[in-house]
Every structure is written in C-alpha cells, then in structure tokens.
C-alpha cells in the first residue's frame, strides 16, 4: 500500500467535524449581550454596558408653534401605540418599509441657497401618521420623537429605496470583518498541523461517541509548541495560541487519551448531591460502603494468613495501562502511530517472599482479553511450589478480562490438572479496587520516566530494574519477568465450550447474576462444580457447569494463535518512517520492517479496562 493510504485516517478528523467538536457548540442567541440587543430592537427595557435603559416610548414634543398641531391631533395613547407598532416589527427591513410608507419625498416648492455649501436642497420630505384610516401629516420633530429615532434612519431608508418603493438594502451592523482577523492561509496551516497527528478510536465507547484520541503524552500546549517550531523552520508567521486552541476545540472532536484511575462514580455522585438527593441515595450508598469494607477485610485476612501458612498464597493481579513502542521525548514520535505493549502483573504474598511477576507481550503476539489473561494466570499458577495447595486471587471487576466464564473455565481446569487443591477468585468493590499490584505499575512508570524505549527488550529491562533497591531484600527480589509470544497463548474459548455447558442456573435453579458475584471457588474435591457467592461472607452456592454429563477434559490446551497478529499498514508506515529518520536504532530496522500487516486492521484506542458496577444482570458477555 502506498504512502497515500495514511491519508484517510489522518484526515478523518476533518470529516468528523459534523459529528461534534471538543468544545460545546456556541449559541449566540442566548448570550446576554445579544439578548439585550434583541430587547433593544423590540423597544423593550434593556441594558447597555450594565446600564439599564428604558423601553422605547414617545418623547415630549412642543408643537404650540407647529402649523400641523400634531400634539393636538394625536393623543399620548395614540403616540404610544404608533411607537409600539414600529418597534414590534423587530425586523430591520420591515422597519425601513414602515418609514418609506409614512414619509414621502418630492421636489421642493421653494429653494434657497444654503450658506454652508452653496447648493440647493434636492428634495422635500413630508411625514404622515395614520389615524382612523386617514393619513395625517405631522412635522419632522413630532415624527422622529414619536418613533424614538434619528433623522439618519430616514436618510438610510431613502438611500436604499428601490424602484418599487420598498427598502432594498440590508443591515450591515456586525458584518464587517475585524481588523485582526486571522487570514485563511494561516488557519489552513493550523488545520493541516492538527491533522498530521495520528488519531485512533475508542475501544469501549465507539457506539456512544465519535470522538478520536491523540497520544496521551500530548496536550494542546505541546501541540502548539510543535506548531511554532514547524512555522519557524518554514519561515512562516504562526497563529496565536488562542487561535490554535479555538480551531482545535471548535472544529475537531478530539481528546487526549488518559488512562482512568480507580474512581468511584457512586461516591462522587453522593458527595456532590443535594440533601434531598442524598436521602434517595442513602441506602444504595451505605450498601456500597459496606461491600467495600467487606472486600478490603477479606483481602487483609488472606494476606495475613499467607504470611504464616506455607501452603497458602494470596495474590493480586491486574493489567497495566497500555505501553508504547517506541517511546521517548523526540517530537517526531508525536506524529507517528506506535506499537502497543501489554504487561500483566501479579503481586504475591507468601511466607517466603513477596514475589512480583510481569508477563509481557506486544500486539503482534496477542490482544488484551480473557485469552491472554487466562494464559498468564495459568502460567503463574502452574509455576507455584508443590507445597502450595491453596491460592486466593484478588482482582478488579472488569468483565471482559477477569469476571467471565472463560477465566472461570481456565481456573476450573487448572485446579483439576495441577497440584493445587483449591483456588478462590475474589473481586473488590467497583471504584475501590486499590491492590498491592498497583505499586508495581507506579514503580515501572517511575523507572521509565527518563529512559527511551525502542523495542520490547527495553521494556523488559525496565521491568527488571523497576523495584527499588531499598526494597530488594530477602522478601523483595526484582520483578520476575517473562515475555510471551503468540505461540504461548492458549485457546481459552475452546476450553469454555468443553467445560462450561451450564453457567446460567445453579443447582437450586436460581439464575446466576455474574455481574454481582464477589467470589468464585474451584476445588479438586468438587470436580466440574463452580461455587459462587455475592458477598465475601456467607456460604457458597454451586453451579454444576457440565450438567449431568461427564467432562471431556483435554490433556493439552490448544494454541490460540498460529501466526503473529498483523498491524495496520498505516502504523507500519509510520514506524518505517521513524527508522528512515534515524530515531529508531539501525540494528532494529529489520525487526520493524518485518512486522506483519493487514489492510483490514483499524487502529483502535485500547481503552482502560471497564469495571462492572454490578447493576446490570446481563450475562451475554460472560
């Protein structure tokens, strides 16, 4: 595929403008100043520069010396009616037509030479108001003060009077371009620069939003800094930063991918609620807090037991936020797509050491679903010492990775085919899933901060040195790191089809609510029985996953992938461009050039693992 194949994805942001923007769409009709302008146009009370102005009402006119006796002919009520009629037209053209209907222009009957200009007047205007169907002539002063207008309004109306007698001009107020308006060429340069950054879709929210995502290391300020450097190199005058921000916010529906932290939406909702709303949420909030305490207590009990019982191990596990290859502070990397790397971490508490494990792979070797998570757990559990017979696992409530029937099938198979006698898989409360394994992620991020990464081997080195030397003692060895290839992953879905025939009803006939389960238990003494409970306390309920049939337990698990997984052509083109520019070391060019590709692959943002709140009883994804 040619270099032009990158264009559709890079320019997709421009095409996506119609679907939304980063900023809220402005509604000038609701701006305060425009609301006041509309009131003024309609002759209503209004504010100008924070000063209250009265409504349009006729002004007092002294017509004692007037030969038309206007004030005597038209009462004050009639004057107010005429004034209100004029201003309620609320349209520039209709008001001018009103003027042209009430004012006539003719050749002056008498002329005298004007002393200031030395010329004769060219026309004479006559002013009329209607009363009881009759046009009655009034003087100019009475006409102007009754309508609350100046003589300039009349001159403008006659200046643009058409041949048929109507007003043919238009309101030019506010339509003149500002003197400091950014020229179109500069605006186009800004748009081209914004579109030069690679964007990806969200993995989890594609149905609810069309927002595209940029690199998490970028920001609008960083993008503007790169833009000014580009203009300086090309000898162009850059746009101002506020102009750059305005174009980015109004014309592009983009954001910067930031991994979500453990944040409880229910607690935040309760804290920000009014007194009445808190009363409605009180029961739900108290139950949520109770479950949180129960989860933390259960983890503390298992952790304490693991330090004294050599046959028992308690471990927490989680998948770290997506890593990138290559990764450094070189500006050209911001304009390039990069390989994704995944790191599945396990933090173990036992009597011997607090061992920590890193199972790492790239996107050409695997994805980040239940197949990969199950394989890593199987690898970890089968590697435990023979003296360990019981294991307690703790994780968050992500249904796609942890709380699903595929991982359940793998653990059920594991307890029947290894020396382990019992495995418990326990879930923490959604929004409060802090675990010991999270300290590994923090240590890895700290170790990577000033270290450039160009290959998976660089990440593996960072994992090995991430644990602080101060913590490396008899109980804290360096992280145990293992790289996984595509041939190392097992086909967990095939195992699920063999072992998990029944996952919806337990032995009592009750429906199993997978999204509310807090504990799963797998025991060698109860083969092919999945035990579960909705609270950490209480008795387990049983699910006979095979029904009345017998297990056809495979002696060996099948492989999930027979070949490396391809990446998009556009991503490989970007990586090869980095090779040609010398950013990636020459000795790695061969590996990057041999990366498999596919025309059907779309770059999608690998979003954070979404925790299940337990409010939905659906089990379609399990």
At 209 the pLDDT is 60
Domains contained in the chain, number: 2
Residue 293 inside a domain? The answer is yes
Mean pLDDT for the stretch of residues 505-515:
89
Contact by Cβ (8 Å): 470, 348: no
Segment holding 208, helix H or strand E: none
Residues forming a β-bridge with 316:
347, 394
Tell me the range of 47-56, 113-122, 606-615 where mean pLDDT is highest.
47-56
Per-residue burial over 164-202, b if 16 or more Cβ lie within 10 Å, else e, is eeebeeeeeeeeeeeeeeeeeebbebbbebbbebbbbbb
- The dihedral built from the CA positions of residue 316, 317, 321 and 324, taken in this order, carries a sign that is positive
Q: For residue 260, what pLDDT band results from cuts at 50, 70 and 90?
A: low
At 7 the pLDDT is 38
Mean pLDDT for the stretch of residues 144-158:
92
Q: What is the dihedral of CA 570, 573, 578, 580, to 10 degrees?
A: -160
Residue 72 inside a domain? The answer is yes
> Distance between CA 293 and CA 344 in Å, rounded?
26
At 549 the pLDDT is 57
Q: For residue 33, what pLDDT band results from cuts at 50, 70 and 90?
A: confident
Strands 567-568 and 597-598: parallel
Mean pLDDT for the stretch of residues 83-110:
88
Whether 289 shows a pLDDT value over 70: the answer reads yes
527 to each of 260, 341, 409, 474, 558, how far by Cα in Å?
Answer: 39, 37, 12, 38, 21
Q: Which two tokens stand for residue 574?
A: 């970007």
Q: For residue 35, what pLDDT band results from cuts at 50, 70 and 90?
A: confident
Q: What is the DSSP secondary structure assignment for residue 297, as one 8-state letter?
A: H
Q: 146: exposed, middle or buried (C-beta count within 10 Å: 0-12, 13-18, 19+)? A: buried
> Distance between CA 380 and CA 337 in Å, rounded?
32
Domain of 328, in residue numbers: 288-605
- pLDDT tens digits for range 594-611: 999 998 887 765 544 445
Residue 217 inside a domain? The answer is no
Give the residue from 602, 576, 610, 609 showing the smallest Cα distance to 200: 602
Residue 490 inside a domain? The answer is yes
Contact by Cβ (8 Å): 70, 29: no
- pTM value is 0.69
Residue 313 inside a domain? The answer is yes
Q: Which two tokens stand for residue 266?
A: 């229910």
Contact by Cβ (8 Å): 320, 448: no
Whole-number percent of the chain with pLDDT over 90: 41
326 to each of 83, 576, 601, how far by Cα in Å?
Answer: 73, 12, 20
Q: What is the DSSP secondary structure assignment for residue 490, as one 8-state letter?
A: B
Q: What is the DSSP secondary structure assignment for residue 110, as one 8-state letter?
A: S
Whether 398 shows a pLDDT value over 90: the answer reads no
- pLDDT tens digits for range 441-460: 989 988 998 899 999 999 99
CB neighbour list of residue 240: distance below 8 Å, 6 or more residues apart: 182
Q: How many CA atoms lie within 13 A of 287 on its CB side?
A: 9
Q: For residue 614, what pLDDT band results from cuts at 50, 70 and 90?
A: low
Whether 2 shows a pLDDT value over 50: the answer reads no
Give the residue from 360, 364, 365, 367 showing the smallest Cα distance to 462: 360
Q: How many CA atoms lie within 13 A of 513 on its CB side?
A: 13
> Distance between CA 155 and CA 543 in Å, rounded?
91
Whether 232 shows a pLDDT value over 60: the answer reads yes
Residue 475 inside a domain? The answer is yes
Strands 529-533 and 200-202: unpaired
Residue 177 inside a domain? The answer is no
- pLDDT tens digits for range 524-551: 988 888 999 999 888 899 988 876 655 5
At 231 the pLDDT is 92
At 213 the pLDDT is 80
Q: For residue 619, what pLDDT band results from cuts at 50, 70 and 90?
A: very low
Whether 228 shows a pLDDT value over 80: the answer reads yes
Q: For residue 482, what pLDDT band results from cuts at 50, 70 and 90?
A: very high
At 490 the pLDDT is 93
Give the residue from 294, 532, 280 showing the smallest Cα distance to 432: 294
Mean pLDDT for the chain?
84
Per-residue burial over 496-516, b if 16 or more Cβ lie within 10 Å, else e, is beebbebbeebeeeeebebbb
Residue 489 inside a domain? The answer is yes
At 299, give phi and psi (nearest 5°). -70, -40
Instruction: Report cis status (omega within 30 of 0) of the bond before 326.
Output: yes
* Cα 26 to the center of its chain, rounded Å: 19
């Amino acid at each position: 595929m040619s270099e032009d194949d990158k264009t559709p994805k890079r320019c997709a942001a421009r095409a996506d403008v119609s679907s939304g923007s980063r900023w809220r769409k402005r509604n000038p009709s609701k701006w305060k100043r425009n609301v006041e302008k509309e009131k003024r146009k309609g002759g209503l009370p209004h504010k100008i520069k924070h000063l209250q102005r009265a409504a349009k009402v006729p002004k007092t006119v002294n017509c004692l010396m007037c030969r038309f006796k206007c004030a005597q002919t038209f009462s004050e009520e009639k004057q107010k009616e005429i004034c209100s009629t004029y201003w309620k037209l609320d349209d520039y053209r209709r008001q001018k037509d009103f003027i042209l209907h009430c004012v006539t222009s003719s050749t002056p009957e008498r002329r005298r030479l004007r002393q200031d200009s030395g010329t004769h007047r060219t026309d004479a205007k006559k002013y009329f108001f209607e009363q009881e169907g009759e046009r009655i002539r009034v003087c100019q002063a009475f006409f102007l003060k009754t309508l609350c207008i100046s003589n300039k309004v009349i001159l403008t109306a006659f200046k643009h009077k058409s041949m048929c007698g109507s007003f043919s001009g238009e309101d030019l107020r506010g339509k003149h371009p500002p003197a400091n308006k950014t020229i179109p060429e500069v605006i186009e340069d800004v748009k081209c620069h914004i579109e030069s950054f690679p964007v990806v879709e969200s993995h989890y929210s594609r149905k609810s939003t069309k927002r595209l995502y940029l690199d998490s290391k970028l920001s609008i300020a960083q993008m503007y800094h790169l833009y000014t450097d580009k203009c300086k190199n090309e000898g162009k005058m850059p746009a101002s930063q506020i102009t750059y921000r305005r174009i980015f916010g109004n014309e592009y529906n983009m954001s910067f991918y930031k991994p979500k932290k453990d944040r409880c939406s229910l607690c935040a909702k309760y804290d920000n609620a009014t007194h009445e709303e808190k009363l409605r949420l009180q029961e739900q909030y108290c139950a949520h807090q109770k479950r949180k305490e129960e989860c933390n207590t259960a983890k503390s009990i298992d952790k304490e037991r693991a330090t004294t019982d050599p046959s028992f191990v308690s471990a927490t596990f989680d998948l770290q936020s997506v890593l990138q290859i290559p990764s450094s502070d070189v500006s050209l990397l911001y304009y390039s797509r990069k390989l994704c790397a995944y790191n599945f971490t396990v933090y173990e508490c036992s009597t011997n050491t607090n061992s920590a494990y890193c199972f790492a792979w790239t996107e050409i070797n695997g994805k980040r679903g239940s197949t990969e998570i199950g394989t890593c757990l199987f690898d970890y559990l089968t590697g435990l010492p023979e003296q360990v017979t019981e294991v307690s696992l703790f994780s968050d409530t992500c249904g796609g990775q942890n709380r699903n029937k595929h991982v359940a099938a793998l653990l059920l198979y594991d307890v029947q085919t290894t020396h382990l006698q019992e495995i418990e898989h326990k879930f923490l409360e959604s929004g409060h899933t802090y675990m010991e394994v999270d300290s590994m992620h923090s240590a890895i991020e700290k170790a990577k901060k000033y270290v450039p990464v160009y290959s998976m081997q660089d990440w593996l080195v960072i994992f090995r040195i991430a644990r602080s030397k101060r913590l490396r003692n008899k109980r804290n060895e360096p992280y145990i790191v293992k790289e996984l290839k595509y041939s190392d992953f097992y086909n967990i879905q095939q195992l699920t089809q063999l072992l998990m025939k029944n996952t919806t009803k337990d032995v009592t006939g009750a429906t199993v609510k997978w999204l509310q389960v807090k504990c799963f238990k797998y025991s060698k003494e109860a083969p092919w029985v999945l035990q579960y409970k909705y609270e950490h306390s209480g008795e387990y309920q049983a699910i006979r996953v095979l029904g009345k049939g017998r297990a056809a337990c495979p002696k060996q698990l099948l492989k999930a992938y027979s070949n490396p997984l391809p990446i998009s052509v556009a991503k490989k083109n970007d990586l090869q461009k980095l090779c040609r520019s010398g950013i990636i070391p020459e000795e790695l060019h061969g590996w990057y050039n041999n990366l498999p590709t596919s025309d059907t692959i779309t770059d999608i943002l690998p979003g954070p693992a979404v925790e299940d709140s337990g409010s939905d009883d659906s089990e379609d994804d399990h």
